[in-house]
Amino acid sequence: MCFEIMDEDFRFRYHHPLPNFYKVSNPANPKTQIDNSVLKDLEKLAAENNCAGISYSKLSDDFRKEWNIDFDNVIIFKYLMSPEILEMDQSKLKCKLIDDEFQEIGRKMYGFADFLRKNEFSAELLNPLDDKISLRAIAMQSNDAVITRSNMCLFKEGLNIGFFMIHTSIENLPFKQENDMCWVGEFCKTCGKCIRKCPENAFDENELVLRKVCTAHREGCSQCMLVCPFYKKGYIKIKQKYDKRVAKKRG
């Protein structure tokens, strides 16, 4: 089953509420426990609609208080941003193509929410352009991602990952208890390609990204991603290389 929303007026926009394209209403008394077979059907549905994978975040009480939110179970739908677009020279056209891809994937999220609602779970899409909450912070709560030196969210599926999120009533999702990607921070300290190759010199003296200088959102620059070993070689190969280096140092 593939989901398509044909309405030309459909768009996610900054400072606008989410468009309502749900076809199924939330249940009055939503279930909280999902059968493994239904979860597998959801994962299969995501794969059929070009998702690269799914992660699950269980938001802590402290996190919910910090961000002033009243939900705690989040499903993260990940998709691979097109390398053909990312590797284009920065331009207004590139920005438009990136946004078109983002909008197309976003349309499918309503189908995933409707699937959950049909199975008697509550499901609400989080606004991906809401400045009031950080979706990257929620991604970190999944223990399935890390933030790289270039301030990008890295999942094992790739560095060129975009994502959308649905919060739900389901309490028994397969949440990860520990993050096995924390080594990435140490690797980044030995690399620094994103800093050296940045065409805008958009890193400060502490090697933090200066958002006002970075042109990624304004002009579609993706140079720091393109030179990153995690983009060029993939997570698994870099992890193997890192493990060998650590083992050699230990003698």
Angstrom CA distances, 29 to 25, 32, 121, stand at 12, 9, 8
* Domain boundary residue, one of 126, 141, 166: 166
Taking only the tens place, the pLDDT of each residue in 30-66 is 999 999 999 999 999 999 999 999 999 999 999 999 9
Q: What is the pLDDT of residue 8?
A: 56
159 & 203 share domain: no
39 & 156 share domain: yes
Sign of the dihedral defined by the CA atoms of residues 149, 164, 107, 156, in that order? positive
98 & 204 share domain: no
- Domain membership of residue 14 (yes or no) is no
Tokens standing for 232?
A: 């060029």
Residues 85-95, mean pLDDT to the nearest whole number = 94
* Domain boundary residue, one of 166, 191, 216: 166
The pLDDT of residue 4 is above 70: no
61 & 150 share domain: yes
- Domain membership of residue 110 (yes or no) is yes
Q: What is the pLDDT of residue 248?
A: 84
* Domain boundary residue, one of 112, 132, 166: 166
Average of per-residue pLDDT values in the chain? 93
- Domain membership of residue 224 (yes or no) is yes
Task: Tell me the whole-structure pTM to 2 decimals.
Answer: 0.93
SS3 135: helix
- Domain membership of residue 139 (yes or no) is yes
- Domain membership of residue 18 (yes or no) is no
142 & 190 share domain: no
Taking only the tens place, the pLDDT of each residue in 107-151 is 999 999 999 999 999 999 999 998 888 999 999 999 999 999 998
Q: What is the pLDDT of residue 227?
A: 95
128 & 157 share domain: yes
SS3 217: helix
86 & 159 share domain: yes
The pLDDT of residue 7 is above 70: no
d(CA 56, CA 176): 8
- Domain membership of residue 16 (yes or no) is no
**For residues 205, 211, 214 and 215, what is the CA-based torsion angle, rounded to 10 degrees?**
-170
The pLDDT of residue 203 is above 60: yes
152 & 52 share domain: yes
162 & 199 share domain: no
146 & 192 share domain: no
The pLDDT of residue 77 is above 80: yes
49 & 111 share domain: yes
In 10 A of CB 85, how many CB atoms? 18
- Domain membership of residue 175 (yes or no) is no
Q: What is the pLDDT of residue 30?
A: 98
d(CA 236, CA 245): 14
40 & 132 share domain: yes
Percentage, residues of the chain above pLDDT 90: 80
In 10 A of CB 55, how many CB atoms? 26
In 10 A of CB 119, how many CB atoms? 19
For the chain, how many structural domains are there in total?
A: 2
Give, in degrees to the nearest 5, the angle at Cα 198 between 195 and 199: 155
Residues 31/169, Cβ–Cβ less than 8 Å:
yes
d(CA 69, CA 76): 17
Sign of the dihedral defined by the CA atoms of residues 35, 39, 41, 42, in that order? positive
Tokens standing for 170?
A: 């389901």
Residues 87-111, mean pLDDT to the nearest whole number = 94
- Domain membership of residue 6 (yes or no) is no
- Host domain of residue 70: 34-166
